[in-house]
Amino acid sequence: MFDGFELTTIDTSRGNIRLRRGGEGPPVLLLHGHPRTHMTWGKVADLMSPSFTVICPDLPGFGGSYVPPDTADSRHSSKREKAAVLVELMQRLGHDTFSVVGHDRGSSSAFRMAMDHPGAMRKLALVDCLPIIEHLERADWKFARDWYHWFFFAQPEKPERVISADPLGWYDKLSSDFMGAEAYDDLLEAIHNPSIVHGMVEDYRAGIRIDHIHDRQDREAGRRLRCPTLCLWSKRDDLQQIYGDPLAIWRTWADDVRGFGIDSGHHVAEENPSDLAAAILAFLRN
């Protein structure tokens, strides 16, 4: 994976960002989900790199990137803060405009980038994602049953204690079968680091404390996504089962949105990288 890519760390005004960069062509930023690192994108990045310059960072609070400082409202872990630092990162790499692909928690940061920095966005692809306010306002007993970790992670201190007491007990479905040995080892290092565990949990606290407020402010002001948007979801995950048609929801936030489901479980970049890459490439090329 990441054939011909450079592994490097870039200094930003908020802290260091670890990333891999490779390929040729228009720039595309790939943002991972929880509890992954940038390594989840390896197979997809290789399929995209002949046509695009691909940048895969660890999100702030994850992997080898800086852990945001704590505040009572978790604002430094908010998607607004992460979006701002990722735009700064791309500018430091020489890219004032670019496309963004996000999965899971990375999609939330990607969505916020497109809302807050529309001038930087060429195209936006969101995988297994809705705006955080849509998740919370539509939450029912099925959401509470299957996505209970959203509310557990919102609690102070206890989530970190539980996870760090037995990281592989908490993340009991991790396997190198799909992600590969190097990505698996990278992830093991992350989940055994209490500081990174805290950073990942704070990403969820920010969702409950402040991110939904930013979403509501956008909705009340009538702000919408201005760039072409692709919405993808994993057919063997439960986004569609819980919420119905994700496209119908995204059409209330974007004028130019299209999308479909992919035959995969939740970690689609690892489980079905060929179909995911094909969908992204077709969208970016048109």
Indicate which residues carry an active-site annotation: 104, 266
Distance CA 260, CA 247 (A): 8
DSSP state of 150: H
Segment holding 152, helix H or strand E = helix 149-153
Q: What is the DSSP string of 164-190?
A: HH-HHHHSTT--HHHH-HHHHHHHHHH
3-state helix, strand, coil in the chain (%, to 5): 50, 20, 35
b/e map 177-213, b = 16+ CB within 10 Å: ebbbeebbebbeebbebeebbbbbbbbbbbbbbbbbe
Largest CA distance in the chain: 48
Residue type, 134: E
By the 10 Å C-beta count (0-12 exposed, 13-18 middle, 19+ buried), 275 is classed as: middle
b/e map 75-95, b = 16+ CB within 10 Å: bbbbbbbbbbbbbebbeebeb
Residue 130 half-sphere exposure toward CB, CA atoms < 13 A: 22
Distance CA 43, CA 127 (A): 16
Among candidates 162, 158, 180, 182, which has minimal Cα distance to 172? 162
